[in-house]
Amino acid sequence: MLILFVMSQLAIARPQFAEKQIRLSATIPADEVSGNLVSYVLDGDYRRLIYNLDTNRFNDISFNIRTEAEFGSNPAGYSFIQTYNNLSCYGGETSDVVEMSIKINSQEMVSNRVDLTESDLWYRGADKYYSDVPIEMSSPVINNNKSKWCVGQVSLVVFKALG
């Protein structure tokens, strides 16, 4: 299971400072999944989200995820299922509770799922098959008329149907 945690690094903006960024951190811990697939982040599991005043949303972030399968298996397509997606920002009169927009291998989530079926998805390594795919996350517009504290989580399950 891949999990994205988003937590604020900056809780309060003081009036005497011209702070214009809300900084968040994002982490996806590596985790073994059911069956014979293992998925993990290739290029580090930490991303800082920065609030963009021009667009009123956080800048996009991306992760490169590698999935491994043993040689004895048939590494055809596999899927990502979104089990949880929440970004909550608190402060001022209103709270924003939204979801991040997710693309996996340039495919939008449809009904909380992305099926990867391309024939060139896997390549053969010395001792197993590998599949490397990008995951891109975008935030919706978040009202910035007051300082806010934001926290969130995205959980994805990687699986391959057996049979």
3-state secondary structure the chain: CEEEEEEECCCCCCCCCCCCCCEEEEECCCEECCCCEEEEECCCCEEEEEEECCCCEECCEEEEEEEEEECCCCCCCEEEEEEEEEEEEECCCCCEEECCEEEECCEECECCEEEECCCCCCEECCCEEEEEEEEEEECCCCCCCCCCEEEEEEEEEEECCCC
Q: How far apart are CA 2 and CA 66, in angstroms?
A: 11
Residue 21: predicted pLDDT: 43
pLDDT of residue 144: 74
* pTM score: 0.72
Identify the pLDDT of residue 15: 38
Residue 105, pLDDT score:
95
Q: What is the pLDDT of residue 110?
A: 93
Give residue 38's domain range: 2-159
CATH number at residue 46: 2.60.40.2040
pLDDT digits 0-9 by tens, 115-158: 998 878 999 999 899 999 999 999 998 877 677 888 878 888 88
How high is the pLDDT of residue 12? Answer: 40
The predicted pLDDT at position 162 comes to 61
Q: What pLDDT is recorded for position 10?
A: 39
> What is the pLDDT, as a whole number, of residue 156?
86
Number of independent structural domains in the chain: 1
Q: Which residues of the chain have pLDDT under 70?
A: 1-35, 145, 161-163
